[in-house]
Amino acid sequence: MADGHKLEIFRGLVKFKSNTQKIWGVLAFLTLITAVEVVLGIIKPESLTDTHVLGMKLINWIFIILTLVKAYYIAWDFMHLRDEKSSLRRAIVWTPIFLVIYLVFILLVEADYIYNVYKDGFVSWNF
Amino acid sequence: MNSTVTTGTETSVWGGGNQPLGASYGKLMMWFFLVSDALTFSGFLAAYGFSRFKFIETWPIADEVFTHVPFFHGNYPMIYVAFMTFVLIMSSVTMVLAVDAGHKMKQNAVTWYMFATIIGGIIFVGSQAWEWGTFIKGDHGALETKGGRILQFVKADTGERASLSDFAASLPGDRVIHERKNGLWFYQESSLTTVSLDEVVEGFKADPNILIRTELINEEGEKTLLDRKASLAKLAEATLVVEGANLIHNEYGSRLFADFFFFITGFHGFHVFSGVVINIIIFFNVIIGTYERRGHYEMVEKIGLYWHFVDLVWVFVFTFFYLV
């Protein structure tokens, strides 16, 4: 358990002196990411909204990746998964990740198919 | 952590003395719950993605829906939600500080950090209630067509949204609310809209500065604006005035958007609310010294896990509802 805290984040790039300090450091990092997200969301730079990567706007990829980064630090440092045994950590993290990827893949592919049926089918939706 | 019963079998693996995950029973059960709850929320968000991909060309743009900040007038997209996100992260920090103080057996520090966490949670739930209220009350109003499409109005010269009351004509009418007592006893309608369909149609015809905006998103990522002639033709299809949003009608666009908004943020808000209640219980336990006598503050750690989880879920809701 949490008697011995691991005080390094960013793969050892930043090392804090105490657990309390690490908490404030992580808060600063999470706030920074949220601020970047909000600023990007308000400005919506054209270079990011016009570029498409894998069928989605680049800006949306950036939002999703930043969200996952935030989720990582909340789970690792606030929920102190960093200090747990790796077997517990893996059981907690990989189970939902596997199931969610599976579910999202199936639902989004299916939704895109339905979109095309609505679009090309002989049914009028706009009246 | 510490077993109080000594049976002599604890050292053997089958006797239960082995802790392969190095976590206590209570913590493991909390993690079980959190993983299953995470899957529930994932199901909701995936269903939201499903509906959104299904209507990808007509889905409402969140920036245009959530534009209000309490006590301020004007158009401030996202600012208030960002504030709510920050409040929740901040209360997560005070929670983790409470857990940290608990490890050091500092009763006073735990008390104050728990108190701050509860305040943060209450601010968040209050903000969410306000956000719901604003969403339900509506902004500019719109018309709904026979096929359930939403028609919104824009001022041609400035490009700003036009509220129905800005241009609706005033036609005296004697239409009253159909209540059980004055009509069919098995039927009643909700309150009448502030302007009637006829008033909107007449006002629209009289004011050449108003154009109709459809739900369709064009290549620039904006809602399609019809010219005056097409607007007038489109107006003939309108059947209903919509002000605000509920589960059946939604002036912001697709009604599924409102349904998912109520469902997902409501479910999350319910989590925050129950988190606040559990936090308050544990807060009083800390004050009366329950955990001091027990010798450890693991209960604070367990509710802490739940509280961070609620924060974690909000991070995803924030992204998929407000940003993407």
Q: Nearest chain B Cα to A108, which residue?
A: B50
Tens-digit pLDDT profile for residues A8-36: 777 777 788 888 888 999 999 999 999 99
Domain ranges of chain A: 1-84, 86-127
Which pLDDT score, from 0 to 100, does residue A9 have?
A: 77
Q: Which of A1, A43, A53, A83 to mutate to test the interface with B (most CBs of B within 10 A)?
A: A1
Domain ranges of chain B: 24-138+257-323, 142-243
Q: Interface pTM (ipTM) of the complex?
A: 0.90
Q: Nearest chain B Cα to A126, which residue?
A: B147
- Ranges assigned E (strand) in A1-117: 8-9, 14-15, 52-53, 56-57
Per-residue pLDDT of chain A (127 residues; tens, 9 = 90+): 345 678 777 777 778 888 888 899 999 999 999 999 989 988 888 888 888 887 788 999 999 999 999 999 999 999 989 888 999 999 999 999 999 999 999 999 999 999 998 888 877 777 7
Which pLDDT score, from 0 to 100, does residue A10 have?
A: 78
CA distances from B19 to A93, B22, B25, B130, B149 (A): 19, 5, 10, 46, 59
Compute mean pLDDT per 10 residues along chain B, 324 residues long, and list them: 53 70 89 95 96 92 87 83 92 94 93 96 95 92 91 90 88 77 78 84 91 88 88 90 91 93 95 96 95 92 95 94 87
Is there a contact between A30 and B93 (Cβ–Cβ < 8 Å)? no
Is there a contact between A93 and A75 (Cβ–Cβ < 8 Å)? yes
d(CA B131, CA B70): 9
Which pLDDT score, from 0 to 100, does residue B219 have?
A: 81
Which pLDDT score, from 0 to 100, does residue B22 have?
A: 82
Which pLDDT score, from 0 to 100, does residue B108 have?
A: 94
From 3.10.180.10, 1.10.3720.10, 1.20.120.80, 3.40.50.2300, which CATH number describes the B24-138+257-323 domain? 1.20.120.80
Residues A96-103: contacts with CB under 8 Å, at least 24 apart: A96/B35, A96/B38, A96/B39, A96/B42, A99/B39, A99/B42, A100/B39, A100/B42, A100/B46, A103/B42, A103/B43, A103/B46
CA distances from B74 to B71, B139, B160, B183, B223 (A): 10, 12, 12, 42, 20
**Cross-chain Cβ contact B52/A111 below 8 Å:** yes
For residue B79, the tally of other CB atoms under 10 A from its CB is: 16
- Helices B25-54, B298-317: crossing angle, 10 deg rounding: 10
d(CA B198, CA B171): 8
Round the average pLDDT of chain B to a whole number and report it.
89
**Residue from the list A34, A78, A108 with its beta carbon closest to the beta carbon of B308:** A78
In sequence order, what are the beta bridge partners of B155?
B210
For residue B35, the tally of other CB atoms under 10 A from its CB is: 16
Which pLDDT score, from 0 to 100, does residue B2 have?
A: 52
